[in-house]
Amino acid sequence: MRIHGIRFRVTLKRVNTRSVLASSLHEVRHGSSINDNNNNNNNNNNNNNNNNNNNNTNNSKKSPLSNTYFKGVYAVLNRGQGMYQSSLPFHIRWDRIQRHLEVLGRVSTGNTVIPYRDSGEAFRMMWKAVDDSKKSVLWQTYICKDDHVGQVTVSKMEAAHKRGCYTELLFDCGGNITGRRRLVGNLKQSGATVIEHRPILDHFLPYFLGGMKWERSPGIRNHRKILLVDDRIGFCGGLNIGNEYCGKSEGGTGRFRDTQCSVVGPAVAHLREVYDDTKAPKPWKWSFARWRQIAATAMDRRYKEGKNVRDECLGAMRHGGRVYVRRQMERAEKRGMRIMERMRWRRQREPVETALPKEEKGEKDLKEEKEGEKVVEKSNTLSISPLGASCMKKDQKTDDDQTNNLSQAKEKLIRELDTKGLQFTFTLNDEDAVPEAEEYSKARPSVTQVLSCNPHTRDWSIPYAFWQVSQKAHRRLWVTTPYYMPHRKLMRALLRAVRRGVDVRILAGSNTTTDPWFMWYASNYITGRFLAAGVRVYEYKGDQVMHAKTVVVDSIWSSVGSYNWDMMSNKNMEVCVCHLDYKLAREMEAHFLDDLKVSVEVNYEDYRRRSWWLRFASWFFYVGLQIAEKLTFRTFVDADLSSKIQ
């Protein structure tokens, strides 16, 4: 039974490994490494071989094929570490991922992307770019506070406008409900452009009085953070404008732990397209290629919906047939081996026993000697001495050893064919890179892609890209987010990645480092599902509030932007800069590990022992947010993101 690709996962779900495996092969989650288990299995195999040589006449011995084969299957199901599915080579896998991502956003090469983990350094570089501007300064943010950092930012933009630069500040009214008239008053008087995006009062009454159509919902907010200077350098990430977002080195409080990145190269023009998309959404901004992708996805979904109904009916029958055929083949092979062994033993035993002294024979042996008298005469065994008989026994043992070796070689070949899609490897250390990533980066150029979300045009490129990367990740998937409430399809992709042996980790805020605070309770409601599947969840315990939004995959692909892994990011306008590059991904992994040093991993047993009050609070806020989402986006339906199809 050749197993690879999706068939491998189907087999894992349907095979009852505990009924096949020996008790000694049952492993404990997060136990010893697969290398230690392999060494133990080798020792057990050697002992089994010795026992086979000493007990050649045991015809009822069970074949070790099933135990050895299903050991790897059991390791995938119960550990998820030290073993991974690699039916596709690394370069083929990531080439396919890139082909799927190309239709989601603009792609370019020759860019320089620099991530900033220190928010003070990020603001220093952004302010420096504004001071050096010569043509234009375009700043788009979700929150712009009237404090020290906000006033410094506005004053620098005002100075740039007085130098002759076109200056524009766009902030969302949802993040600035009270307005910013005093802050931006001087900037407006100087002649600069100030845009207040989607005032809440202008959309609140029309939404409820106009049939609660989600296109008019006041909940659609612009969550993008973009700074463009002279169309030469761009900045993107999660930093808003305010003291809380700026480090202490530049006059802020450094309350939030965030990540920002700078981009220099052709990707700046792509960021400009996203910036303009906020003001004037373009329904078909990716032309016919994007439309074809959407149409193909919809048709593929409808086809799979009908196919899944058929597979559910025939799946059990197919599986039962495969198991039945395999058992019949094993039984026939064992029966044939027993018959051949009996015939060989009869031919070899008769001449040896004939040469032994008659007093050592029993009545049964004498009777068999008379019946086989003709065979004895033909073989001329009367002239064989006892020494010759002992030599014949040694030759017989040698023949049996050769037969056993051939049988073992055959079983080994069968196992290699059956487990072609499996590769055993040492568990990667956190500081080590994925082995194939560096070689892949040498053979492929660095690629930068700008992804965006806009519910007005039904463009959900960012969650679709994360879904593609999650379900096809090779070895490692590390996510940093303030909180997590992903939609159903993205959550299934993460759980499937864990079952394939991918190291999936989520780093989020704790009950003291999450803003808003109730999002921690809502996220805690689904934490158990992640932990039970094998996802490693960490809570940030530093002296800052977690606000970073990054993803790093396989030491080759990374993303920095404004997208939170929650339900509202699917309805807001978001932006992310994705970069396919080994060096940048390694730097992002180093940032992730630095955050882990001040984080605590959530233990599944401790999670199950949480208090009843915490259970109720988690359920209350989770359900409350679900209800609020339905009220705010009552008619919202996205068949692709909410589909049950994998």
pLDDT average, residue stretch 432-459: 88
Query: What is each CA distance from 125 to 114, 115, 628, in whole angstroms?
Result: 11, 11, 39
As a residue count, the chain comes to 646
DSSP per position, 528-582:
HHHHHHT-EEEEE-SSSEE---EEEETTTEEEEES--BSSGGGTSBEEEEEEE-H
The pLDDT value given to residue 196: 86
Look at residue 421 in the predicted model and tell me its pLDDT.
43
Whether 547 is catalytic is yes
Query: Which residues fall within 8 angstroms of residue 558, CB to CB, at 6 or more apart?
Result: 115, 550, 551, 552, 578, 579, 581, 584, 585, 588
Position 140, amino acid: Q
What Å distances lie between residue 168 and 140, 210, 265, 285, CA to CA? 8, 33, 22, 23
Question: Measuring CA to CA, which residue among 228, 257, 230, 252 is closest to residue 241?
Answer: 252
By CB atoms closer than 10 A (0-12, 13-18, 19+), residue 33 is middle
The answer to whether residues 548 and 258 touch, using CB atoms and an 8 Å cutoff, is: yes
**Cβ-count burial 308-335 (b if 16+ within 10 Å, e if not):** eeeeeeeeeeeeeeeeeeeeeeeeeeee
Q: Is 225 a catalytic residue?
A: yes
The type of residue at 198 is R
> Tokens 């051939």 correspond to what residue?
406
Domains detected in the chain: 118-258 (3.30.870.10), 428-632 (3.30.870.10)
Question: From CA 107, how far away is CA 128, in angstroms rounded?
Answer: 27
230 classed as catalytic: yes
Asked if 474 and 554 touch (Cβ cutoff 8 Å), the reply is: yes
Summarised one tens digit per residue, pLDDT across range 49-95 is 454 444 444 443 433 434 444 444 444 444 443 344 455 788 888 98
Per the residue annotation, which of 223, 472, 487, 489 is the catalytic one? 223
* Whole-angstrom distance, CA of residue 635 vs CA of residue 646: 24
**Which amino acid type is present at position 514?**
T
User: Among candidates 235, 203, 111, 152, which has minimal Cα distance to 575?
Assistant: 235
β 557-561/574-580 pair status = antiparallel
Mean pLDDT of 394-421: 57
pLDDT > 90 fraction of the chain, expressed in percent and rounded = 34
- Residue range 104-136, pLDDT digits in tens: 888 999 999 999 999 999 999 999 999 999 999
Task: Specify the higher pLDDT residue, 545 or 212.
Answer: 545
Catalytic residue chosen out of the listed positions 258, 554, 566, 595: 554
pLDDT at residue 367 tops 60: no
Residue among 270, 547, 571, 579 flagged as catalytic: 547
- Share above pLDDT 70 across residues of the chain, in percent, rounded to a whole number: 60
Which among 230, 365, 401, 418 is annotated as catalytic? 230
Q: Which of 145, 161, 203, 225 is catalytic?
A: 225
- Bigger pLDDT: 598 or 337? 598
What pLDDT is attached to residue 546? 93
The span from the CA of 404 to the CA of 399, in Å, is 9
Between the alpha carbon of residue 243 and those of residues 181, 206, 262, the distances in Å are 18, 35, 20
pLDDT, tens digit (0-9, with 9 covering 90-100), for 295-307: 565 556 556 656 6
Q: Which residue out of 197, 474, 549, 579 is catalytically annotated?
A: 549
pLDDT digits (tens, 9 = 90+) for 226-268: 999 999 999 999 999 999 999 898 888 989 999 999 999 999 9
Q: Which residues contact 248 (CB under 8 A, 6 or more apart)?
A: 120, 254
Tally Cβ neighbours within 10 Å of residue 10.
15
pLDDT for the residue numbered 406: 63
